[in-house]
């Protein structure tokens, strides 16, 4: 028997996601990325954050907006404006080779109906740029 003593994993301070929705976890990543850039790019305040959210990412823009002010409170991006630009979903059909617009990552090809469509755009979510002081 190889029981581990005290098997509950206590993550070091700052290692917990600690949030109830994955959008909030992602916003905590945003805050951390801003803080890292503040050091490397030498700024002390962020007034505007522009995110690009792909339509095929499993992200709900409204949930991001909802959580943004909460997560950025007491950070260098407190009161910053949040801009979310949507990136359309695009895929290439593995059957007929045509490029198709996608509403979800599992849409069939709108030309030939094949379910085998490879996503080429719209799955990502990223911080595009910031306005800083």
Partner 1 sequence: MCGICGCSQPGKINKLQPVNGQVHQHDHGHRHHDHETERLVKVEQDLLSKNNAYAEQNRTYFQQHHIFTLNLVSSPGAGKTTLLVETIKVLKDRFPIAVIEGDQQTEHDADRIRATGVPALQINTGRACHLDAHGIGHALQALGIKDHSFLAIENVGNLVCPSSFDLGEAHKVVVLSVTEGDDKPLKYPDMFHAADLMIINKTDLLPYVDFDVQRCINFARQVNPDIQIIQLSSTKGDNFSAWTDWLAGNVKMEA
Residues at the binding site for Zn(2+) are 93, 96, 109, 112
* Candidate residues 70, 79, 85, 88; the one interacting with partner 1 per rule CB under 8 A: 79
Q: Tell me the two tokens of residue 15.
A: 């290692």
CA 58 to chain centre: 9
Q: Looking at beta carbons only, is 29 or 75 nearer to partner 1?
A: 29
* Candidate residues 13, 15, 74, 118; the one interacting with partner 1 per rule CB under 8 A: 15
Q: Looking at beta carbons only, is 84 or 99 nearer to partner 1?
A: 84
Binding residues among 45-64 for partner 1 as defined by CB under 8 A: 45, 47, 51, 57-59
The whole-angstrom separation of Cα 93 and Cα 99 is 6
Helix axes 61-72, 22-40, angle to 10 degrees: 50
The whole-angstrom separation of Cα 58 and Cα 54 is 9
């Amino acid at each position: 028997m190889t029981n581990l003593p005290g098997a509950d994993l206590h993550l070091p301070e700052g290692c917990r996601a600690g949030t109830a929705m994955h959008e909030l976890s992602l916003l905590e990543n945003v805050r951390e990325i801003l803080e890292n850039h503040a050091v490397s790019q030498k700024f002390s305040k962020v007034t505007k954050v522009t995110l690009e959210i792909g339509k095929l990412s499993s992200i709900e823009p409204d949930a991001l907006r909802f959580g943004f002010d909460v997560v950025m409170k007491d950070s260098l991006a407190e009161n910053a404006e949040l801009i979310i630009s949507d990136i359309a979903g695009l895929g290439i059909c593995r059957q007929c080779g045509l490029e198709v617009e996608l509403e979800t990552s599992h849409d069939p090809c709108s030309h030939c109906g094949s379910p085998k469509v490879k996503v080429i755009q719209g799955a990502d979510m990223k911080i595009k740029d910031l306005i800083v002081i």
